[in-house]
Amino acid sequence: MNLNFGSEYKDFTTEVKEFCKKYSGVHFSDSSKVPLSTSYKSGDIKMKRSEWQKILIENGYFARSIPREYGGYGGESDIIKNRIIAEEFSKAKIPPPMGGQGIDMLVPTLLELGTDEQKEKYIKPTLHGEIIWCQGYSEPNAGSDLASLQTKGELIDGKWVINGQKIWTSTAQFSQMMFCLVRTEPDASKHAGISYLLIPMDTPGIEIRPLVDMTLNAGFNEVFFTDVTIPEKNIVGKRGEGWAVANATLGHERGSLTNPNATMNRLNMLINRMKEETIDGKRIIDNPVYKDKLMKLQGKVIAFQSNSLRVLSAKLNKGQDVKIAAMIQKLIGTELRHELEGLGIDIMGEIGTLYEDSPNLRDGGSWQFTYMYYLGLIIGGGTNQIQKNIISERGLGMPREPKVQQGV
C-alpha cells in the first residue's frame, strides 16, 4: 500500500530508505532454528541479533519514545514515524527489531505502571535482549476465565511466597524472568484479589516441564511453584489490583500479535511461490481456481491494512477509543495469516504435507510451521471466540451471551 503521510515526513522517509540501503543483506550469526515466515535478504553484513538491536535503538528505529536512561532512543512519540519505519523495513526486507513478551508487553506496562526502580532495573536489559521474559497467566482451570486463577501468593516476613501452577507458558525454558498473576487476597472477589508479580526463573522451587506441540517444538510449558520466595518489591501496581495491570499488558499483547506489513510481505512470498509451483507443467498462478483464491485473499489483506490505518488514525485523534478496533485487528489478523499459510501449503500439493527434513521442503518448512503457529495465536491473547463475543456485545451493542446453568 502506497501511503502519503504528508510533506513533513518526506525527509524522514528518505532517511529510513537510506538506512535500509546501507544495511541491505544484514543477517545474523545467531539465527533462530525456527522456520522463518519472512524472507530477508542475505548479504555480507553479519552480526548478532543483540548488536542489530542496539544499532536500531541508536538510530531511533526502535524504542523511539523510551527515555535514554531506560535504554531507549529518547525521542518524541510519533506513531506515523513508527509506521513509516515498519513499512520501509518490510519493503526492503530488513530484519525488524527483536520482539517477544518482555519487549512488546512488559516494557510498556512498566513504563505505565512500574516503579522507578523497576524501570531502571528491567527495561534496558529487556530492550537489548539481555533478559527474556515469559508470561505466567493461564492455569489448568483458568484460561479464558483468567480471573479464576488459583496460584497463591502469601506475604510472609516481607517476602512473597508463591505456590501453584501455570500452563501454556511460552519460552519459559529460555527465560530469565516471568511476569505472573497470583491470588494474594483469597477472601476478595476473584477480580479484586489478584497481584502482578515479577519472578526470577532461577528462584529455588520453580520446575519447568516443556510441552511439545504439533510443530514438534516445545512451544509451551507447564511451570510449577513450590514455596518460591521473592522480594516484596517485585510487585507491579498495588496489592490486589493486578487485574488492572494485567489488562494493560493484555492490550499490548493483542497489538503485538499481528502486523499488517508482515502479512503483506507474506502475501508477496505466496505470489512468488505460486509462480514457481506447477500442475502438469503449468504455473499455479495461471490456474483460474487458485488465481481466484489468491485474489480473494489479496482483498482481505488490503482490507486488513486499511483497518490498521483506522486504528492508527484513532490513536492520533484524542478522545477516540481504539480497544474494539484493536480487538478486530487481532481477530482478523490471526485468522487471515492462518488462511494465507494454508493456501501456501495447498498450492504445493503432496509436497505441502512434508515437514522437518526433506530435500523437497519449500522455504525451509516455514509454511507448515507458521500455519500451525498461527492456529496457536488464534487462541493466544484471548481466544478469537471470546473476542467475537466482546466485539459483538461492546462494539455492536448486541445482547450478552446467556450463561449455561449448571445441571440443566
Task: Report the DSSP beta bridge partners of residue 153.
Answer: 162
Q: Name the nearest CA neighbour of 213 among 366, 376, 385.
A: 376
Compute, in degrees rounded to 10, the torsion defined by CA atoms 56, 59, 63, 64.
-150
**3-class DSSP state for residue 200?**
strand
CA distances from 390 to 167, 336, 385 (A): 24, 19, 9
Residue 166, H or E segment = strand 159-166
Show the cell assigned to 142.
Answer: 483458568
Q: How far apart are CA 350 and CA 396, in angstroms?
A: 43
Q: Name the nearest CA neighbour of 137 among 145, 125, 126, 129.
A: 145
What length does the chain have?
408
Question: Do β-strands 194-200 and 177-183 pair in parallel, antiparallel, or remain unpaired?
Answer: antiparallel
Please state the φ and ψ torsions of residue 342, each to the nearest 5 degrees: -65, -40
Q: How far apart are CA 205 and CA 26, in angstroms?
A: 42
Q: Which long-range CB contacts under 8 A does 41-48 form with residues at least 24 apart?
A: 41/92, 41/93, 41/94
Catalytic residue among 87, 241, 253, 335: 253
Show the cell assigned to 123.
Answer: 527495561
154 is catalytic: no
Residues 70, 24, 51: CA angle, nearest 5 degrees? 30
Show the cell assigned to 36.
Answer: 522463518
Residues 302, 2 contacting (CB under 8 angstroms): no
Terminal-to-terminal C-alpha distance of the chain: 52
Show the cell assigned to 296.
Answer: 480473494
Residues 38, 265 contacting (CB under 8 angstroms): yes
* Active-site residue list: 253
